[in-house]
Chains A and B, each alone.
Chain A
Amino acid sequence: MSADPEGAARRQWLEDFEAAARRPLDVRMKYAFIHTYKPVLDDGAFRAFETMADYRTWCERNLPSWLGYGRF
């Protein structure tokens, strides 16, 4: 186990950033955009919210909490 887990994580991030910087944009996008079904969220074809607050409230009331759309 690393004696400095936070530092180890940051070093890993830096390596990730450097590796990404070496890839052309089309390759970066190929690996970055992944379609993963999100329940409820992906079940409607179109939604429009008058305010961002309305949207955030809708997310909290309708989406499973594990999706992470709830606010602190």
Chain B
Amino acid sequence: MGAFEYRQAQEIRDAFARHGVRYLFIGKSGAILLGYPDTTQDADLFVERSPENGRALVTALKELGFPLSAEESSEIQRGKDFVQIRSGPFDLDLVFAPDGIKRFEDAWKRRVDVEGFPVCHPDDIIRSKAAANRVKDRESLPRLRAFRDYWMSRRGPEGEKE
């Protein structure tokens, strides 16, 4: 398994758009898309939980080369809170109910578009990491919060730099 590549992010974006999947990049992968300099292994996607979106998601994942069994497809379609896939062309975490974010729709309204990639607002990324309260999150949050302030200062109040 190689590292997740820009080309694969584009493939996600394009396949999900073709099938109308509603999702957001979240976690450190989302922060990296926003410009946060750090390293990570996998792509984390916050996916809207609905029957239609679940079906579209499974179709898009299969098209991307994820070898999902009928049972695995069913679990994704149901929208279990957290799904981790390590059998596809790249490592992927699907999060249907991230800690600290009550509704997908709220995060969707606050989303940031980065070259066509829908990304959670840094405040939502921070909120979810703070709520998860893991050792690795606690260690990374001060730097991530500093990045959020930097990003906001560049973006301006109206988001004119996005």
Contact = CB atoms under 8 A, between A and B. Distances in A.
Interface string A31-47: 11111101001101111
A28 B133 contact: no
B37 A48 contact: no
Size class of the A contact interface (CB-based, 8 Å)? 35 or more
27 contacts: A17-B146, A17-B150, A17-B151, A20-B37, A25-B115, A31-B37, A33-B41, A35-B1, A35-B2, A42-B86, A42-B91, A46-B86, A47-B84, A48-B75, A48-B84, A49-B83, A50-B81, A52-B98, A55-B82, A56-B134, A65-B135, A67-B136, A68-B134, A68-B136, A70-B134, A72-B133, A72-B135
Contacts of A45: 85-87
B104 interface: no
B67 to A, nearest CB: 9
Interface of A: 10, 13-14, 16-17, 19-21, 25-26, 28-36, 38, 41-42, 44-52, 54-56, 59, 65, 67-72
Given A32-B38, A72-B135, A14 B146 contact: yes
Interface string B22-53: 00000001001101111111000000000000
Given A21-B154, A52-B97, A34 B75 contact: no
A33 B131 CA distance: 24
A33 B5 contact: yes
A69 B6 contact: no
Contacts of B99: 52
Interface residues of B, number: 50
Given A35-B3, A46-B87, A51 B81 contact: yes
A17 B86 contact: no
Contacts of B81: 49-52, 54-55
Contacts of A44: 84, 86
B108 interface: no
Given A35-B2, A55-B81, A17 B41 contact: no
A72 B2 CA distance: 32
A33 B135 contact: no
